[in-house]
Chain A
Amino acid sequence: MQAGNETLRPSLWRMMSLIRAVEERIGDLVAAKEIKTPCHLSIGQEAIATGVCAALDREDTVWGGHRSHGHYLAKGGDLPAMMAEIFGKVTGCSKGRGGSMHLAAPTVGLFGTVPLVGATIPLAVGAGLASRLRRDHQVAVAFFGDGATEEGHCAESLNLAAFYHLPVLFVCENNFYSTHMALKERRLKDNLAEMAQPYGIPGLCIDGNDACAVFEAARTAVTRARAGEGPTFLECRTYRWRGHVGPAWDLEVGAHRRAELDEWLPKDPIARLTRVLLEEGRSEQELAGWCAAIQREVEAAVDFARTSPLPDDSDLFRHIYATRR
C-alpha cells in the first residue's frame, strides 16, 4: 500500500480512532473502578503504532512494553480478548494472567509485551536473527519509549542488530516523558535518532503525529530490512496526553506540562488526518458513520469482557510450564 493509495488513509484513520476509542473507554472504566489493572494509555500517540503496523505483513513481529494497547490492535490483535484480559477474565488474550501490561496475540505476530522497560528490544533483535537464519524475510519491530533508550539493553541491541544486518526496526516513541521525568531531566541532548549513527544504523527523526509520514518511513525501513540491508532506527516524536498510568492528565508532573499539552493537543494525529480526508472529498457523515461503527465494536468488546467468567482459583497452577509439543 502507498500513502497516496485511496484505501490507506481511511484505514489509518479507522485504526487510530479505534485505538483512541478503546483507550478512552478503558480510562473511563478505570476511573469508575470497574477495572483495576494498571493501564498505560497511548492516547495522542496512535499514529505510530498505526503507521508502522500498516507497513507490516501479518507474519512480521512487533514487540512492545507497558504501553502497548495500540501495538496490539494495530497489528491485528483481537479487541474483545484484550478487553477481557484487562478485566482479568479467562477469555482474555493472556487468560487472566497478564492484565493490561502483558498482552499477546501470537497468531498475528505479537508474542508478548512486558512492562520491564527496554526488555523486549533484544527480543525483537532475536526475532530478526531467527528471520535471517530461516531466510523468511520476516521483519521485527521493537516499539519502545524515550525512557527505554537509557537502558543498556538498547545500546547492546543496536550493536547486535547492526553487526549482523538484522531485519529490525527500532521504533522509538519519543513522548518526552519517562513516568514523571521529562526528557530534559534525564538526557543532556534531545537527539535520540542520532543514537543509531555510531552503530552504522540509519537514524531518522520523524513527526510521530503524522500517520502517513510514519507509514512512509516504516515502509522504506521494512523494504531495506527485507532486502537484507539491516536495521533502521525511527525516532517518532509525539506526546503522551494522559498520565503515565491511569486516565488522569498528570498536570502536576513536570514544570511545563500544561503548556506542553496546549501545544500538543492541536497536533492531534486523528484530527490531522480528518482534515486530509475531508479535503479529499470524504463527507462528515461518512466519518461519523465510521466512528459509530467503532463505538459499537468497543461496546461489544466491553460486553464480552463483562460477561466472561473470571478464572477459577484452581486455575492458579496452570501455564507455569508449557506442555511438551
Chain B
Amino acid sequence: MRRRTYAQAIREAHADLLRQDPRVFVCGQGVWNPWYAGTSLQDLDKEFGRERVFDCPVSENATTGAAIGAAIVGMRPIVFHARMDFMLLAVDPIVNQAANWSYLFGGQVNVPVVIRSVINRGGEQGAQHSQALQALFAHVPGLKVVMPATPHDAKGLLIAAVRDGNPVLYIDDRWLYEQEGDVPEGLYEVPIGAAAIRRPGKDVTLVATSYMAAEAAKAVEQLAERDIDVELIDLRTIKPWDRNLLYSSVGKTGRLVIADAAWMSGGIAADIAASVAGDLFHALKAPIGRVCLPDVPAPTSAPLERAYYVGAEDIIATVEKVLL
C-alpha cells in the first residue's frame, strides 16, 4: 500500500477532485502559501491554475458566503480557513444560510459546499488561535461535521464531503499532519456518518475524535500490555455520529470512555454520554468517562499549556477509573 502523510493525503484528495470535477474550486486565505496549510495544499495553484485555486483577502465572511453562493448555483467549492478561530467570522453564512437553505426551500435548493478549517494548538499561540469548535457547528441541523484522524480517512472523507451535496465542515488537526498511513490511489470515499473500529476489545469502549484517536491508540497499546482489552472507535464524523456502531460496542463492553480534545461543557462528549445514558442505561456497568479539555481558554505560557492539553495519559487514567 502507498504510504502518505495526513497532509499529503489531503492534498491528494484536492488534486484528484480538481482533476476529475470541473465544478470543484478551492479558495481561502493561504491556499498559495505553505505557512498556513503546510503541504496540504502545496502547489495546487501551480497544477490547476490560480483561477481555480485562489488565495483570498482577509475576508472570511465574504469568501465563505461567496463559496456558498457558488455552491447554490451548481459549483463544488472547498473554502479553507487556516484556523478554526478565523472561521467564526463566517458564522452567519455557515449557520444562518448554508445550514438552513435546503430545509427553508423545501429541498429544492441545496448547498454542496465544503468548509475546511484547521485546528491549531499549542506553541504559545493562545486563546484565539487554538480553539476546537466542532461542537458549536455540530449543534446546528443541516450541517455535517467530519474530523478525519488518519491519512486514509483524511482523503476519503474530503472526497465524500465534496460529493455529499450538503454543507460539510471538514476539520483537520495540525498535530496530525506528519502522521503516516496507507492511502489508496484514486477517488474513494469514506462514508460520512460511519465510525470505524480501530481495535476490537471486550473490556471497555473508547471512542475518540480526530487527534485524540491518535492519542487513544497509544493509550490502548499501553493498556493492552496490562491485559486491559479496549475497543477503540474512531468517530470520524461528529455530526451525525454513528449511533449503531457505538451502541453495539457499548452493548458488548458495558463501559464507555469518550475522548474529544475540545472543551467539556456542552461538547461532543456530552452529547454522546447523554445519548448512551439515555438509550443504553441498562447495558452500562460503570459511569461514563470523558476526556476533554478543561473549560478554560487556551493559555499561552508553556507550563499552563502543559496543564491544559489532554493526551494518552489522561485517557489511561479515565479508562482505569471506569474499570474500577
Contacts and interface: CB of A to CB of B under 8 A. Distances in A.
Interface of A: 36-38, 88-89, 92, 94, 96-99, 101-102, 114-118, 147-148, 150-152, 178-181, 185-187, 244, 310-313, 315-317, 320
A99 B307 CA distance: 17
B126 A88 contact: no
B57 A88 contact: no
Interface stretch (B30-38, B150-158, B177-185, B213-221): B30-38
Interface stretch (B111-119, B161-169, B193-201, B291-299): B291-299
Interface of B: 29-30, 32-33, 35-36, 55-62, 85-86, 89, 123-129, 294-297, 299-304, 306-308
A264 to B, nearest CB: 22
B308 A147 contact: no
A150 B58 contact: yes
B55 A115 contact: no
B302 A310 contact: yes
Contacts of A96: 299-301, 304
15 contacts: A96-B304, A97-B304, A99-B301, A101-B128, A102-B300, A150-B58, A151-B58, A152-B89, A178-B57, A180-B30, A180-B33, A312-B303, A316-B296, A317-B296, A320-B296
Contacts of A88: 124, 300-304
B126 A98 contact: yes
B124 A99 contact: yes
The secondary-structure label for the interface of chain A is loop
Contacts of B62: 152
B296 A315 contact: no
Contacts of B295: 320
A97 B297 CA distance: 9
Contacts of B89: 116, 151-152
A37 B124 CA distance: 5
Contacts of B308: 316
Contacts of B59: 150-152
A283 B35 CA distance: 45
A234 B86 CA distance: 26
Contacts of A152: 59, 61-62, 89
Nearest to A94: B300
Contacts of A99: 124-126, 300-301
Nearest to B63: A150
Given A36-B124, A99-B301, A313-B303, 18 more contacts: A38-B125, A88-B301, A97-B127, A97-B304, A99-B125, A102-B127, A115-B129, A150-B58, A150-B59, A180-B32, A181-B33, A181-B57, A187-B57, A313-B304, A316-B294, A316-B296, A316-B299, A320-B295
Contacts of B302: 36, 88, 310
Contact of B124 (A38, A187, A311): A38
Contacts of B36: 179
A115 B128 CA distance: 7
A21 B299 CA distance: 27
B131 to A, nearest CB: 11
A265 B306 CA distance: 41
Given A151-B59, A186-B57, A313-B306, A320 B297 contact: yes
A157 to B, nearest CB: 14
A174 to B, nearest CB: 14
Contacts of B297: 97, 320
A37 B35 CA distance: 16
B125 to A, nearest CB: 6
A89 B126 contact: no
Given A36-B123, A180-B33, A316-B294, A89 B301 contact: yes
| Top-6 shortest CB links A-B | A88-B301, A99-B300, A96-B301, A150-B57, A313-B307, A37-B124
